Amino acid sequence: GRSTADPAATGRPTADLAATWRPTADPAGAGRAGRTATGWLVGLAAFGPLAFTDPEEISLLLIGTRDVPFWVAAAAGAGLAVAVLVAIGYAVLLARPTARTPSRRVAALAAAVLLVTVGVVDVGPGQPGLYGERLLVVLREQADLSGIPAGVPGQAGRDARAAEVYRRLVTTADRSQADLRRTAGRLRLDPVPYYLVNAVEVDGGPAVRAWLARRPEVARVLVSQRLRPLPAPAGQSRGTAPAPTGPEWNIRQLGADRVWSQLGVTGRGIVVGSSDSGVDGGHPALRAGFRGGDDSWYDPWDGTRTPNDQGGHGTHTTGSAVGRDGIGVAPDAQWVGCVDLDRNLGSPGHYLDCLQFMLAPFPAGGDPFTDGRPERAPQVLTNSWGCPVIEGCDREALLPATTALDAAGIFVVAAAGNTGPWCASIDDPPAPYANVLTVGAVDAKRRVAEFSSRGPVPGGVGKPDVLAPGVGVVSAMPGGGYAALDGTSMATPQVAGVVALMWSANPALIGDLTRTRQILRDTATPAEPTYRSDNPTDACGGPANVTGAGQVDAYAAVRAAQG
């Protein structure tokens, strides 16, 4: 170093040397400080936002787009790109002739600013919320619905059964939930009780979930997701297909048009309940069919008071069941509606909200426990949805609900799902349950659609039960339009419409679920199965696990119901 040089050899006074000399910084220390600063900046830029991410909510948003490995790769690529850009920018700054190694104070300040910025974005437009924003606490005790008398056949017997089921469910829930509801209220967990499944929904994250799971009366605790609000209202889905000029191909393939013209049966006197994304109550094909009154519409998502639909899915499915102008199987049946889907997603709590409303409708703002009117329950329910694990349901989550509806004499039709051609793909409740009629999809050639989910299901229950047209089905869309859509969602309401025709043709059959299911199976026509490949393991255990009993035949089913 300069301190060891001979001052005389420099040709400068010793005093000048003393005035200009400074200790040289340790290069190794400076390098370590630079690398540390760079690491913090790159890490925060690339991965900091993950600290504010709800992993289950991200998974919900990915449903129906691409698979999870794709998005993992995309996220890794984006993180790497951000890291490279930050590193290049940092290197450019250091390469300047006048560049100096930044101080730790500057690096710390930059990292802090970046972290605060991410936090502000999360707290503001990010709409923060913890994992498990709501929890569904399922109690061990469920109502005993055995021994409910069948009573007289027809509507009167059905109403008496529904009233007794409602009474037992509410009595059991009020008694067994009392302590849990008091405790949850005292802790400000905003408890919401349910009776169709004896359960209570509360606020809470992992700590609350662990505490609830240890309570002796609790069977299990499920996550009941709540979607974050959008920064702006979503646009309404509208159709572009031309308006029908007569019965659509699927109506003719089922033979429903022959039921109208030759048997004079159009569904009059029957009410179909639709739990879905909503219904456009002003659509020309649906307006006249709304039952009306103060207990025919319920929206647990947004609290709207009149039938409406942003997503379009529910308008389309309701139109296939009861729409007029050639799109619906039972055009003179009435409908009631409930919103259990928002952005095509749901939760156990909201599925229960709607199923409870269907068992015992109540007026707007009413209490489901005290204001329910089981005598106003629709006779048939169409359910073009499933509750997967990612939405919070386990396999048995909704089984007490469909068991109660079955005991009440309410016919439940459910979509098989669109995860074919994989075997054992009927797995999201309520489709696997024996007490619902599960519907797969066929095309115009009566071939099972490749997307149509198939069995077998656990317990040896044969699924799907039956099939109906589900490829290129034209039906109503919000705003008065029409669209052709694919899915077991499209097939399901048509079968609900066939049940409405059967019960309209023979009111004594109302509430006789066993006989009605048997007629539908016995009168079904053969359909051609499809498979993922020629490999025997892709045969799903036999064609019955792909086609069920076959495609529903509306004409034959109504004739059998009359006989």
Q: Which of the residues are catalytic?
A: 276, 313, 489
List of residues 6+ apart from 230 with CB closer than 8 A = none
Largest pairwise CA distance in the chain: 126
Q: Which amino acid is at 70?
A: F
Orientation of helix 554-562 relative to helix 488-505, angle to 10°: 30
Distance CA 560, CA 563 (A): 5
For 378-434, what is the HEC assignment?
CCEEEECCCCCHHHCCCCCCCHHHHHHHHHCCCEEEEECCCCCCCCCCCCCCCCCCC
Tokens of 4: 């060891």
Distance CA 73, CA 64 (A): 17
- Residues 347-360 as b/e (b if ≥16 CB within 10 A, e otherwise) read bbbbbbbbbbbbbb
Is 191 within 8 Å of 199 (Cβ atoms)?
A: no
- Closest-CA residue to 340 (of 427, 294, 398, 278): 278
What is 225-237 written as a DSSP string? --PPPPSSPPPPP
Orientation of helix 104-123 relative to helix 27-47, angle to 10°: 10
Distance CA 70, CA 11 (A): 70
Task: Please name every residue paired with 309 in a beta bridge, in sequence order, or none if there are none.
Answer: 278
The dihedral through the CA atoms of 531, 534, 536, 537 has a sign that is negative
Orientation of helix 348-359 relative to helix 155-186, angle to 10°: 140
Region for 44 from its dihedrals, namely left if φ exceeds 0, alpha if ψ lies in -120 to 50, beta otherwise: alpha
Distance CA 328, CA 259 (A): 12
